[in-house]
Structure 1
């Protein structure tokens, strides 16, 4: 199900909802091309794949999108056959969280991007932690990956198939860091969508202390860096903060010059007298034994490997891909200008989006630094 926005009153209601910080789920707004009410983006696909965790709206490009743009902060409008997912909370706090997805001649790609955006927003809002009546606990076996590794196909013991979505399984970690063919899994199945959630709670401090004795070495993912601190993850949902002194004895060194987000590093596990855990990188030698990292999903592979960093997702340049929004009947001159802009944008996008769709949607591992 989706909602058509066809009047000025409906536009005002849509804008009010987007501004509402108490909204309980993401809202996805899709616009049609100029001159037609029929969208290029797969509105029915959006409704079926995200309708349980997001509201979907369709608005015609023209006077209605102009009115909506006037009611939203600059650059957060929707028009010209594009779509946008607005997260819960302050939907306008950061433009990079709510990207405008243009079709650029590939409506399926834009639809897939919106599905990814909306599911990520729903995951961040904790909607998948809620258990509706349609969710049941099931067991199954991972059969393989599809859609460029963004989906894992699971054969259920009870019969039938289910899919694990990368957007819902420790994003932005690639699925094949957590799952492997033949792996036995247990998770929460939404029977209406056949989505299977296999995320596990992070291990307790006691469990990690038992797994990694005091002074042992394992791998950690660098999640955040600043001049004096870094946040390292032993598990996708278990972070520890370290300082410059834990990395280098040189007081002039800067953490963000020594580490980069996405690096996989060898770290010494320290058991503090308080019972808490700490990590240290400064005294790790290259010839020391590195214990395997934790498994993000039960029975899965160690989620981290040396020399396999998590590369950042490279997004298309939204400004360079702008589409001219025409309101009313275009003049011959404006048509020529629009055609020129679209032609230039098409040439730019052809270079920016070369390669498989999944490689544009999901960060992939590649060779890089291992130990510090």
Structure 2
């Protein structure tokens, strides 16, 4: 069980910030804070300590001014206070990429259970990424055990071990990044290494490899895949947690102007047809029809459930926004609050409270006495009038003090009303913020659903694909595609003024076309047609320019002894390893196609 280290003063807060920003940490660090006005955190730190064991350090920051001593020494956006929690992974990359150390928060005590689970999962994920599950164990603390999965509870699989003991399997010790209910199921037999202290059962060694799991897939199969990431012109799909396949716009939609980020949502499960199997997998979403029968997603363990559910609703995608929970209980750092400009007190026209006897324990205030002329020796008849004058003077002083007190009390009451009003406003703002966050999440879910519906609608309304003619002569077949692109895209009225000129095909061009993956053949023919007809020069997206001998701005263009100059044009943009077309422009103005290449290939 991890020890809970309490941070209760400025020096301890500064030391914690120095630890996080230093290079001595070998474990993730969990930081839990207490909301202002509370004595206990929303998160269950005892459960966190028990779950993370020795895999992470745990700090509890109590409420008070020292929380700002911590915040002021952290990179903006990496702080934590106000009842929130955050896990900081090993290293310092989280200072640049805030998503590596996400802020977890609860709006009230009822959300503490959710916050607790998130912090535990973050800590275990980061410990697994740092290799601590293996390095932190010795032969004396673990043993091989087997058992049967009893149930799935609190994102853990509970296992009845042979011999009567119990253990639990967190997702990090089965398949990181996949919900445990998608990995294991009640009744499954499992075996692995039991960590005696934490009672965790590590079953990763018994997991089949991705190659073994995927060997049942064949070309033509329709299979579930999970969207991992999306760009405008490409997306990454996961057939298996360890196998990612890149698909391009032409694999998803027939419209070359479609933005894939409007059709796919990260985390969404889609159906794809297998075009080619591993090791170079190729998938197509365009070739999936509404009534096609899909295969069930593969299981990650023998006898386990499918790791993907095509019928699951698309996940919400919320931008990474750092917010501080429960603002009504959080005050801004002292140094960020502007102090009012000092105002010299006006000289009182009447005696002030400073002239009255001080209360017990109140510091002495220096008061300069009003100079009084030295009295002449009193005469017997003047005693009574002098006392009367003194009483009248004191009465005036008391009256003045009472008036000033009443004035100050009225001001204090007004300030209290203002503070109360501001607190009520901040409470309302917090409620509004929580409501807005829920609305954003709802809208994101709706947006993800609409993306999926739009993609499927495009698939349903897409015209049936016509089989392309097949030529025994590769060059003749490619020239046919170029001419078809010209006839399809150039209006009949413009064809006489924008004819398709004669061109030649270099000896390496068709081989490069066959070897290049990630772009359809008709797309290459489209770009060639644009180059031949001059459309590429008019399109900024084609980025037509001379291919130079080096990266220097003054480098000479690539040329041949016959005077031909090599040019480069983009066939894809905003895509990893974007494809390019190289061609020679000969002295007589004719075009010779040279090669199709990836972005980093600068050879003519």
TM-score, with length taken from structure 2: 0.52
Match of residue 71, structure 1, among 70, 73, 89: 73
Task: Report deviation, 1:295.
Answer: 0.8
Task: Report deviation, 1:226.
Answer: 1.1
The whole-number CA distance in structure 2 between the counterparts of 1:91 and 1:296 is 31
In the TM superposition, 1:60-209 aligns within 5 A as 60-89=62-91, 90-96=93-99, 97-102=101-106, 104-106=108-110, 107-130=112-135, 132-133=137-138, 134-147=141-154, 150-166=155-171, 169-170=174-175, 172-199=177-204, 203-205=209-211, 207=212
2:25 maps to 23
Q: 1:289 to 1:21 in 2, by over 3 A?
A: farther
**Does the alignment pair 1:325 with 2:330?**
yes
**What is the SS of the residue equivalent to 2:123?**
helix
Structure with a larger share of its residues in helix? 2
1:14 maps to 16
Q: 1:334 to 1:194 in 2, by over 3 A?
A: farther
Task: Report deviation, 1:23.
Answer: 3.3
1:21–1:91: 8 Å Cα contact kept in structure 2? no
Deviations 1:25-68 (A, max 9, x none): 22112223447765453332222221321111122222211111
1:84–1:98: 8 Å Cα contact kept in structure 2? yes
2:311 maps to 307
The whole-number CA distance in structure 2 between the counterparts of 1:14 and 1:40 is 21
Q: 1:67 to 1:179 in 2, by over 3 A?
A: same
Instruction: Give the alignment's Cα RMSD to 1 decimal.
Output: 3.6
Deviations 1:72-122 (A, max 9, x none): 122432333333222233223344542142461334443333223322333
Q: Which runs of 5+ in 2 are unaligned?
A: 335-414, 440-448, 460-604
**What is the SS of the residue equivalent to 2:94?**
coil
- Name the count of aligned residue pairs: 355
**What is the SS of the residue equivalent to 1:68?**
helix
In the TM superposition, 1:325-344 aligns within 5 A as 325-326=330-331, 332=416, 334=419, 337-338=422-423, 340-342=425-427, 344=429
**Does the alignment pair 1:345 with 2:430?**
yes
Task: Report deviation, 1:215.
Answer: 3.0
**What is the SS of the residue equivalent to 1:189?**
strand
**What is the SS of the residue equivalent to 1:122?**
helix
Q: 1:247 to 1:345 in 2, by over 3 A?
A: same
Q: 1:257 to 1:75 in 2, by over 3 A?
A: closer
The whole-number CA distance in structure 2 between the counterparts of 1:14 and 1:338 is 31
Bigger relative contact order, structure 1 or 2, given CA contacts below 8 A and separation 6+? 1
Q: Which runs of 5+ in 1 are unaligned?
A: 355-365
**Does the alignment pair 1:298 with 2:315?**
no
**What is the SS of the residue equivalent to 1:67?**
helix
TM-score, with length taken from structure 1: 0.80
